[in-house]
Amino acid sequence: MTTIKRLDLVASCGLDCGLCELYVCGHNHDLYLKFVERGIPKDKLPCDGCKSVEGNCPVAGAVCETYKCATGKEVGFCFECNEFPCEKLHPAANRADILPHNMKVFNLCTIKRIGLDAFVERSPAIKKRYYAGRVVIGEGPKV
């Protein structure tokens, strides 16, 4: 696995590839084997993050449309685009309990507000709140 700077592991869409299981499996052999058993080619694992693999997602088996859009518009992050937020970032309920895609707009707004360094520090807590939090009406998610 290539040594990658932690800040370079935040994708253009705002997802933190440094917390992604496809990246983490480089340090967890059991997780690595789980992905191989699911049919992900060994040469695609571990994933070095969206930017390092030029958006070629090992799970999708194709280049991410959001990555292509951001690089085509020459923006580092989607929030830098004058069309932000666009339909590519639209949340969907389908698989929201296991995939982080509904976190993109929140993450991008957080990066814009506090900067990339601070976001990377807070990213684990943000992800935990998303997956472990329970919504309290009028108060938002609580862990």
pLDDT digits (tens, 9 = 90+) for 19-46: 999 999 999 999 999 999 999 989 889 9
Q: Is residue 63 part of a domain?
A: yes
Q: Is residue 65 part of a domain?
A: yes
Q: Is residue 93 part of a domain?
A: yes
Average pLDDT over residues 5-14: 91
pLDDT in tens, 78-109: 999 999 999 999 999 998 888 899 999 999 99
What is the domain extent for residue 43? 6-142
Please provide the size of the chain in residues. Answer: 143
pLDDT band at 3 (very low <50, low <70, confident <90, very high): low
pTM: 0.88
Say how far apart CA 131 and CA 125 lie, in whole Å: 10
Q: pLDDT exceeding 70 applies to what percent of the chain?
A: 97
Domain total of the chain: 1
Q: Is residue 1 part of a domain?
A: no
